[in-house]
């Protein structure tokens, strides 16, 4: 009979090996957004929207490995506000009649990654506290006789499936970046992704060793980019950059000025990642869709496809620009003075029929015919 493991020994079980960030393929925008949030955590985190099985959680866990000594903390759906923000240590209070703060998940995530799966299903009160700490880098607790502040600078990564509900617009606006993933439709790319995952599952150590050099290069580049943002006045921007950011936000019809500020911070982080000395308008263009996709008003003009930007990792395959829907690509119908133009009707007139000529039928009224016949001096005909 085999001996059962000693569960009371206090030994922590070994964590399963992580899929390396450098080996993620087919999702370049996802990798770019995660790296930007890691370079500047004050961007407010990353919201990843997409169906199941699109590497959302895999990429979030792999990102923490690129950051030096970074914890990876998961916020469960059933967590309470005290579990997240911290509260009074009841044990200390009852034993010694002393008030002591018991840290929560925000304190544990300091310096690392806080991952929230299905963030759209969290209560709004928890999301508010989460976003406040992610944007400010400080967690403030004022409850149960406790007044406490502590640093909480982390990379917030939230995922959601739009089929299961949406976040309120006020909460969406406070999330810095957003990536909307889609299922991979290219057959060759799907095969490459599946093949890489099968190789990892078969021998994780050998797979990680194969990507160790690329993984180390990414970690070093991320460390350098974070350091380049630290000095005051580093990576300045010109009026042309401010003008480019403002024009994009006005075209997207966003509310307020948070989008402008996040867009400039994201462009600065991207310039730091590329090793450039200053922020340029092309940096703004490179990150604009990540900042505006979840803030753009319905009906606002869609951006024109941009040339493929530089990818964070050489292993990542290029992505195809999103195609326009039939309603967006169809030219508007031109109307004529009588409303019967030759152009096809718009979707608002779906089911409408073009006008057709209709013959007129003269209706004879007996009294009127009798009156007309008397004037003419002829007897009136009787209708059966």
pLDDT digits (tens, 9 = 90+) for 6-39: 444 455 566 789 999 999 988 899 999 999 999 9
Residue 235: CA count within 13 A, CB half-sphere: 24
Tokens of 153: 């600078």
- Cα–Cα dist 206/161, whole Å: 33
Q: What is the mean pLDDT of the chain?
A: 80
CB 300, CB 12: distance < 8 Å: no
φ, ψ of residue 220 to 5 degrees: the values are: -65, -40
Read off the pLDDT of each residue in 356-372 and give the average, rounded to a whole number: 50
Q: Which two tokens stand for residue 3?
A: 């001996």
Beta strands in the chain (DSSP E): 46-49, 72-74, 87-88, 101-102, 113-116, 138-143, 146-151, 155-160, 177-180
Q: Looking at residue 335, what is its pLDDT? A: 36
Residue 361 has pLDDT above 60, yes or no: no
What is the C-alpha separation between 370 and 376, in angstroms, rounded? Answer: 10
Tokens matching residue 179: 């990536």
Buried b / exposed e over 113-141, threshold 16 CB at 10 Å, is bbbbbebbebeeebbebbbbbbbeeebeb
- Smallest Cα–Cα separation from 261: which of 47, 35, 42? 42
The confidence score (pLDDT) of residue 321 equals 34
Between helix 239-252 and helix 258-274 the angle, nearest 10°, is 130
pLDDT bucket at 146, cuts 50 / 70 / 90: confident
Look at residue 32 and give its three-state secondary structure.
helix
User: 149: closest CA among 131, 136, 162, 166?
Assistant: 136
Residue whose pair of structure tokens reads 């944007």 in the numeric block: 135
Percent of the chain with pLDDT over 70: 72
d(CA 258, CA 256): 6
pLDDT of 264 = 97
Tokens of residue 114, six digits: 């806080």
Q: Which residue has the higher pLDDT, 377 or 381?
A: 377
The one catalytic residue among 180, 258, 265, 371: 258
Q: What is the 3-state secondary structure (H, E, C) of 189-236?
A: HHHHHHHHHHHHHHCHHHHHHHCHHHHHHHHHHHHHHHHHCCCCCCCC
SS3 percent helix, strand, coil of the chain, rounded to 5, is: 45, 10, 45
Size of the chain, expressed as the number of residues it contains: 384
- Residue 150: the pLDDT is 92
Tokens of 182: 């889609």
Per-residue pLDDT tens for 52-104?
Answer: 888 898 999 999 999 998 999 999 988 999 999 998 776 666 666 667 788 99
Task: Quote the tokens at residue 73.
Answer: 């903390």
Beta carbons of 59 and 31 less than 8 angstroms apart? yes
Highest mean pLDDT range out of 140-144, 158-162, 322-326, 338-342? Answer: 158-162
* Span 290-341, pLDDT tens digits: 999 999 998 888 776 554 444 454 333 333 333 333 333 333 333 333 333 4
143 is catalytic: no
Residues 320 and 29 sit within 8 Å (Cβ to Cβ): no
């Amino acid at each position: 009979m085999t001996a059962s493991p000693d569960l009371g020994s206090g030994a922590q079980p070994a964590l399963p090996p992580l899929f390396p960030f450098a080996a993620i393929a087919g999702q370049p925008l996802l990798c770019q957004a995660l790296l930007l949030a890691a370079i500047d955590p004050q961007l407010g985190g990353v919201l990843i929207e997409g169906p199941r099985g699109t590497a959302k959680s895999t990429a979030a866990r792999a990102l923490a490995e690129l950051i030096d000594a970074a914890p990876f903390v998961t916020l469960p759906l059933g967590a309470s506000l005290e579990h997240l923000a911290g509260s009074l240590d009841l044990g200390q209070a009852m034993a010694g009649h002393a008030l002591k703060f018991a840290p929560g998940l925000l304190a544990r995530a300091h310096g690392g990654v806080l991952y929230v799966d299905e963030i759209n299903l969290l209560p709004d009160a928890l999301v508010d506290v989460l976003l406040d700490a992610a944007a400010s880098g400080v967690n403030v607790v004022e409850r149960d006789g406790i007044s406490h502040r502590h640093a909480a600078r982390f990379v917030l990564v939230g995922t959601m499936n739009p089929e299961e509900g949406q976040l309120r617009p006020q909460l969406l606006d406070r999330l810095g970046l957003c990536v909307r993933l889609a299922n991979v439709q290219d057959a060759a790319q799907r095969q490459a992704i599946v093949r890489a995952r099968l190789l990892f599952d078969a021998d994780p150590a050998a797979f990680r060793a194969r990507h160790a050099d690329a993984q180390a290069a990414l970690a070093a580049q991320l460390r350098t980019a974070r350091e380049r943002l630290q000095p005051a006045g580093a990576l300045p921007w010109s009026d042309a950059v401010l003008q480019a950011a403002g024009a994009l936000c006005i075209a997207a019809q966003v509310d307020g000025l948070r989008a402008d500020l996040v867009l400039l911070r994201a462009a600065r982080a991207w310039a730091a990642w590329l090793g450039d000395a200053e922020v340029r308008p092309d940096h703004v263009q490179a990150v604009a869709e990540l900042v505006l996709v979840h803030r753009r008003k319905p009906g606002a003009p869609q951006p024109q496809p941009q040339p493929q930007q530089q990818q964070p990792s050489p292993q990542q395959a290029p992505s195809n620009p999103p195609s326009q829907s039939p309603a967006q690509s169809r030219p508007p119908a031109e109307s004529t003075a009588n409303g019967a133009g030759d152009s096809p009707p718009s979707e608002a007139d779906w089911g409408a029929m073009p006008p057709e000529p209709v013959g007129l039928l003269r209706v004879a009224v007996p009294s009127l015919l009798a009156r007309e016949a008397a004037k003419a001096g002829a007897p009136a005909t009787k209708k059966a």
